[in-house]
Amino acid sequence: MKRVLIIEDQTAIREMVAEIVNSDPTMEVIAETGDGQAAYQMCIELKPDFVILDIMLPGLNGAEVLRRFSKHLRNIRVLVFSGYQNPHLVRELLQAGAHGFVEKAAPLAELKKGIDIVANGGSYFGPEVAQLLREAVVNPKTSSRPGLDILTAREREILQLIAESYSTKEVAQKLSISVKTAENHRTNLMKKLDLHDVAGLTRYAIQHGIIESGNTTA
C-alpha cells in the first residue's frame, strides 16, 4: 500500500484529489495540508511514498517544500498538480526532484494517469508542460536573471515573504530573526539578483513561480 500525502491549499481540489487517490486500492491518503511549512514537516515526519504537490502555497511555496524534503527523502515520488507553469518553474521543479507535472486545467483522466505513472516509478508531464520542456531545451536561457539556485534556502523563503508584501519587521517576526538580519538578507537578495527594489523582487518571484500575480497580503 502506497502512503500518499496531498499538499494543496484549495480545500475542494484537495478533497477531489484525495477521492481519486483513495479510489485506488493500492494507495492510501495518510495526510493532507494546504500550508507550506506544515507540508515540509509532514514529509519529514511521515515519510510518505508519494506526494501530490501544488506550487502556490502560503509562506513556503511548493517548489521550496520539494527542494527541502527531497534532500532528506530521496525515495519519495512527487507529482506536481498546479495551474501555474512557465519554463523557469518547470526547470526549478525538475532540479528540485519532481517526477511529473499535471496542469489543473487538464481532464481528470490525465490527473489519474499522472498519479498512476508517477506513483509506480515513472515520469509524466501533461501536454502543456511537455511543450515548455521542449522549448526549454531549444532555448535554455529564458532570462538574463540568475536562477533561484544561487540563493540560500533562507533567502528564497525571505524572497517569498517580501513578494507577499510583508515588511522587514514582519519578516523578522515570522522567521524569529532580528530586523537587522532580515534587512541583511534583503540586501543580499538584491545584490545577487541585481534588483534594486521590492517591486523588482516581486516581479522576479512571480516569474519564477514563487507567488502568483496579485498574491500579496496588501
Q: H helices within 47-167, ranges in order?
A: 62-69, 87-96, 108-119, 127-138, 153-163
CA 113, 114, 118, 119 torsion: positive or negative? negative
Euclidean distance between CA atoms 65 and 89, whole angstroms: 14
Reported pTM: 0.74
Q: Are 53 and 7 in contact (CB under 8 A)?
A: yes
- What tens digit of pLDDT does each residue of 46-77 get? 999 999 999 888 878 888 899 888 888 888 99
User: pLDDT at position 33, please?
Assistant: 96
Collapse the DSSP code of 172 into the 3-class scheme (helix H, G, I; strand E, B; otherwise coil) and give the result: helix
- What tens digit of pLDDT does each residue of 75-111 get? 899 999 988 777 777 777 888 889 999 999 889 999 9
Euclidean distance between CA atoms 30 and 70, whole angstroms: 19
Torsion, Cα of 175, 178, 182, 184 (10° steps): -150
Euclidean distance between CA atoms 29 and 22, whole angstroms: 6
pLDDT score of 175 more than 70:
yes
CA 191, 195, 197, 200 torsion: positive or negative? negative
Is residue 144 very low, low, confident or very high in pLDDT (cuts 50, 70, 90)?
very low
Cell 499535471 identifies what position?
102
Sorted by where each starts, the structural domains of the chain and their CATH numbers stand as 2-138 (3.40.50.2300), 148-207 (1.10.10.10)
The three cell numbers locating residue 174: 515570522
User: pLDDT at position 31, please?
Assistant: 97
Buried b (16+ CB within 10 A) or exposed e, 40-61: bebbeeeebbbbbbbbbbebbb
Helix (H) or strand (E) holding 27: strand 27-33
